[in-house]
Amino acid sequence: MLQRPRGTRDFLPDEMERRRAVEAALRERVARWGYREVCTPEFEELELFTIRSGAGIIGEIYAFEDKGGRKMALRPEITAPVLRMFVNEAKVLPKPLRWFYFADCFRYERPQKGRYRQFWQFGVELIGADTPGADAECILLADDLLRAAGVPSDIHVGHLAPMKHLLAGLGHDEQAKAMAFLDKRDFDGLAGFMAGIGKPELEGRLRDLAHARSLEELFAVTGEIPEKDRITKTIGILDRAGLAYTLDFGIARGLDYYTGTVFEGFAPNLGAENQVLGGGAYRLAHLFGGDDVPSCGFAIGFDRLMVSLGETKLPRPVRVAVCSTEEGRLRAFEVARAFRDAGICAEPDLLDRNLGAQMAHAAKSADYAVIVGKREVETGTVTLKDLGSGGQKAVPLPDAVAEVAARVPR
């Protein structure tokens, strides 16, 4: 028996309905903010990803040569393709551009719960705005989307300028190692590393930075920095909007990638691997031949989002089973069509089962049974049975459709 590839999944109808319901909630909410959907190819030139991350990323992604000898890769993320598309197709459009996407990505890594080789991202890119309001909009939208999905979350907001200010005296590799310790909240490891490079006093300041939970505490650590006004204004907008968040200047998202504001979202019920969202302000367009355009965005790990939701009950469509005797089989298809035309899921029997077997199946899969037998064909009616209460009655078809439609959640 052939098996699915490692790190991938099959989704049966129940799970797909759950995923589509959450996806629909995200799509509806992001549209309220004026964001419009974009789509990029599933594979791109390999250089699109190595130009920023270096050749080391090749071992972590699905890279290949096509039949023309061109080096290609399945996309491991979508921000770079979106910015490539912006440079190719949209750099003259009025700004800011509010774009979103929902698509699958591919990475060659060890599969584990909530982490797969094929995974989905729901992401947002705000291109062409470099203001506190732009940063704040992305953070507020991120929180709004998580709430729309029904995921209880904890939003952490920070800015890289204070960390860059404290690390300014270190070389690039030393900065990267210090950030790795901060990212893991490994303060003992950080202390040992700083002592090893002759900067033991810096460890204390970095620790205080990571623990700062107010702007007063932040600037007590850093002193005056050029970005103070930008940070203060961004946080002021979040506070005025009533956002519940945690200030966290220990967020160590890519020092070479993000340029200012950074933020993350956590689902408390996921345990150690609980991050479901990450983003911030960045500049990428110039790497792909465009101008140095400011951008801010984030991506939601859709698979982790679904794991966080667990067995949460989501609305499902009302289902009608159209059950018929031999005399009513042709009429059953007309009846099913009438319900479908009213926007109601209706399924006639396709296995030529007797009426008893059809009703037994309906009890397991439907909310209503609509019976079409010899009597119903002769009288031009149907028998509508509520499978929840057990009540039933013979009514004209339009009345049956109207009664079921009135109980469909809108």
- DSSP letters of 261-292? EEEEEE-GGGTTS-EEEEEEEE--GGGGTS--
State the helix-helix crossing angle for 200-211 and 172-183, rounded to 10 degrees. 40
Prior bond of 398 cis (ω within 30°): no
Q: How far apart are the first and last CA of the chain?
A: 44
CA-nearest of 34, 278, 311 to 153 is 278
Task: Give the residues across from 63 on adjacent strands.
Answer: 73
Neighbours of 102 (CB within 10 A): 17
Amino acid at 93: L
CA-nearest of 125, 34, 47 to 79 is 125
Fold classification of 13-309 is BirA Bifunctional Protein; domain 2 (3.30.930)
Q: Is the pTM of this model over 0.95?
A: no
Q: What share of the chain is helix, strand, coil (3-state, %, to 5)?
A: 45, 20, 35
User: In the chain, which segments carry CATH 3.30.930.10?
Assistant: 13-309
How would you write the pLDDT of the chain (410 residues) with one tens digit per residue? Answer: 999 999 999 999 989 999 999 999 999 999 999 999 999 999 999 999 999 888 888 999 999 999 999 999 999 999 999 999 999 999 999 999 999 999 999 999 888 776 899 999 999 999 999 999 999 999 999 999 999 999 888 999 999 999 999 999 898 889 888 988 888 889 999 999 999 999 998 999 999 999 999 999 999 999 999 999 999 999 999 999 999 999 999 998 765 688 999 999 999 888 878 999 999 999 988 888 888 999 999 999 999 999 999 876 667 789 999 999 999 999 999 999 999 999 999 999 999 999 999 999 999 999 999 999 999 999 999 999 999 999 999 999 999 999 999 988 76
R_g (Cα) of the chain, nearest Å:
28
Quote the CA–CA distance of 369 and 392 in Å, as a whole number. 9
State both tokens at 291: 């101008």
User: In the chain, which segments carry CATH 3.40.50.800?
Assistant: 319-406
Quote the CA–CA distance of 321 and 323 in Å, as a whole number. 6
Architecture in CATH for domain 319-406: 3-Layer(aba) Sandwich (3.40)
Neighbours of 120 (CB within 10 A): 19
- DSSP letters of 87-150? IIIITTS-S-EEEEEEEEEE--S--BTTB-SEEEEEEEEEES--SHHHHHHHHHHHHHHHHHHT
